[in-house]
Amino acid sequence: MRLQALDSLLEPILAACRPVPVERRMPAEALGMVLASAVRTGQPVPLRAVALRDGFAMRAADLVGASPSSPVIVSAMPHLVRAGEALPSGCDCVLDPDLAVAIDPYVEIIESMAPGSHVRLPGHDLAAGEVFAPAGGQVDAAFVLACRIAGVSEVEVRVPRVAVSLSDADIAGWFEAMARRLGCRVVGADASAALRFVDAAGAAPRLAIRPGDAGWVEVRNGELVVEVPGRFDGALGVFCLAALPVLARLFGASLREKLLPLSGKVASAIGIRDLVLLSMEDNVFVPLSVGDAPLRALIGASHFLAVPPEQEGVDAGAAVGAISLASPFEFGPMPQE
């Protein structure tokens, strides 16, 4: 039986595939989602100088030379601020409370302070107009906090809807977990989806990849449908080699490759696109499996390599571009057709 080359199968599908529409969400509602555009501050953060600790708000220039033997005398106790509170206009430092000694009717300041001491100055955290999250970044708790502090009320995200209709509960669970990890929304089998994973129609080999030759990709009723073989190794091969390029297009991304040398030779078959699972150790890729995906290799893998069908393996020491299983997408200009 003649096997279908993966590139010729995917080429028209990818050419017609467009990113899913942009959605606007409150940052807290966008946790785990992928940003469709960069996020900038509208104003400096903080907008005004704020105290980093409790103390007295002062002008450093007024305290020059202050010491226990030569205190600076002021007429009244300075303004007390709490940590996080904005300083009064003109103040640029916070004095520890025990350095201001009340000696009626005056107050002695017994230590000088440098400008900015115990203070976060305007724009120190983020400058006005600064990009603090690029397009393609995944929304996490730190980003939500930054948005709240910076006054960003909405962000733009792309959230491909993915349906997983697989009879094997273990494989279905893995596909759903991977989809959520990448920033997709997993929907029910009866809901519309941009991408749908279904059981492979038959067990006969038809796609020139290993593992996963029983898999398939096509457009069906307006949805991208990926047929998944019944064993986890074939399912992994189809996910990495066939589904990830499609998902990248739905996000408006491409696949990101990390270039490192191989620690050992990889032997593959001419005419077949082999999946190579890799771990990364001391800035080299260590092959864990080729054209196969035993469970121990999947557990230890951080990246994968797709050996082109016209290539008979890769020599040890050769630099290869491998794709991260955890963060496979590169956001920027879409690839040209």
Query: Residue 337: pLDDT above 60?
Result: no
3-class SS string, the chain: CCCECHHHHHHHHHHHCCCCCEEEECHHHHCCCEECCCEECCCCECCCCEECCCEEEECHHHHCCCECCECEEECCCCEEECCCCECCCCCCEEECHHHEEEECCEEEECCCCCCCCCEECCCCCECCCCEEECCCCECCHHHHHHHHHHCCCCEEEECCEEEEECCCHHHHHHHHHHHHHCCCEEECCCCCCCEEEEECCCCCCCECEECCCCCEEEEECCEEEEEECCCHHHHHHHHHHHHHHHHHHHHCEEECEEEEEECCCECCCCCCEEEEEEEEECCEEEEEEECCCCHHHHHHCCEEEEECCCCCCECCCCEEEEEECCCCEEECCCCCC
Give the mean pLDDT of 103-119.
Answer: 93
Total count of domains within the chain? 4
Q: Crossing angle for the helix pair 244-251 and 6-16, nearest 10 degrees?
A: 20
What average pLDDT score do residues 111-136 get? Answer: 93
Predicted pLDDT of residue 333: 54
Model pLDDT, residue 125: 92
* Residue 297 located in a structural domain: yes
Per-residue pLDDT at 104: 83
pLDDT average, residue stretch 214-231: 94
Clarify whether residues 105 and 130 are in a common domain: no
**% of the chain at pLDDT higher than 70:** 98
Residue span of the structural domain in which 61 resides = 50-120
Residue 269 has pLDDT above 90, yes or no: no
What distance in Å separates the CA atoms of residue 274 and residue 241, rounded to the nearest whole number? 9
Q: What is the pLDDT of residue 205?
A: 92
**pLDDT tens-place string over residues 43-97:** 999 999 999 999 999 999 999 999 999 999 999 999 999 999 999 999 999 999 9
Same domain, 188 and 243: yes
Query: Taking residues 262-280, what's their average pLDDT?
Result: 94
Does 187 share its domain with 103? no
Same domain, 251 and 164: yes
pLDDT at 335 over 60: no
Per residue in 173-213, pLDDT (tens digit) is 999 999 999 999 999 999 999 999 999 977 789 999 999 99
Q: How confident is the model at residue 1 (pLDDT cuts 50, 70, 90)?
A: low
**Does residue 273 belong to any structural domain of this protein?**
yes
Residue 209 lies in a domain: yes
Query: In this predicted structure, what is the pLDDT of residue 336?
Result: 46
Tens of pLDDT along 21-43?
A: 999 999 999 999 999 999 999 89
CATH number of the domain bearing residue 60: 2.170.190.11
**186 and 251 share one domain:** yes
Within-domain flag for 231 = yes
Q: Supply the CATH number for residue 166's domain.
A: 3.40.980.10
CATH of the domain at 267: 2.40.340.10
pLDDT band, residue 331 (cuts 50/70/90): confident
